[in-house]
């Protein structure tokens, strides 16, 4: 697993990390991306919803890897040489699978970008809530 340099945004500008799943591209605010790693092996989590591709051990912690193709309408991606973008959110780390090598782009702050993942609301929406024992 290698670590890549994550650029800092200059004043008045905002940097995003662009990654791809299938035919779609998604953006993450660069400052939320902790690191980008190559995936050597990933472990399944039986019982988890299908958008959780598996879990990856990283320096003694376990990072769940999210497959966005199970959340957004995307043709089944190949994930032949996937990368994992590790994002810090709510004091936890979660990872997004990417089929492409992520790259960084910088825009002026006032430009609105599409396909930006709001990690906080993503976390709240897709965090597993009380599954596995059928009680609600």
Q: Is residue 131 a contact residue for another protein (CB under 8 A)?
A: yes
Distance CA 87, CA 92 (A): 8
Structural tokens at position 52: 């959780």
Q: Choose which of 28, 56, 68, 84 interacts with another protein (CB under 8 A).
A: 56
Q: Is residue 80 a contact residue for another protein (CB under 8 A)?
A: no
Q: Is residue 132 a contact residue for another protein (CB under 8 A)?
A: yes
* Alpha-carbon torsion angle 23, 121, 133, 67, nearest 10: 20
Is-contact 82 110, C-beta < 8 A?
Answer: no
Q: Is residue 1 a contact residue for another protein (CB under 8 A)?
A: no
Structural tokens at position 119: 């990690």
Segment near another protein (CB under 8 A); pick from 13-21, 30-38, 59-67, 108-116: 59-67
Which residues of the shown chain bind another protein in the complex (CB under 8 A)?
A: 43-52, 55-57, 60-64, 70-74, 90-94, 123, 126-136
């Amino acid at each position: 697993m290698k670590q890549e340099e994550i650029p800092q945004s200059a004043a008045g500008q905002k940097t995003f990390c662009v990654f791809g799943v299938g035919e779609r591209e998604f953006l993450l605010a660069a400052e939320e991306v902790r690191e980008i790693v190559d995936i050597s092996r990933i472990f399944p989590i039986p019982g988890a919803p299908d958008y959780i591709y598996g879990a990856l051990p990283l320096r003694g912690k376990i990072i769940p890897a999210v497959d966005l193709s199970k959340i957004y309408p995307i043709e089944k991606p190949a994930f032949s040489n996937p990368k994992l973008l590790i994002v810090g959110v709510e004091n936890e780390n979660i990872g997004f699978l990417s089929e492409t090598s992520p790259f960084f782009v910088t825009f002026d702050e006032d430009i609105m970008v599409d396909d930006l993942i709001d990690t906080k609301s993503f976390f709240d929406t897709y965090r597993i809530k009380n599954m596995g024992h059928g009680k609600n």
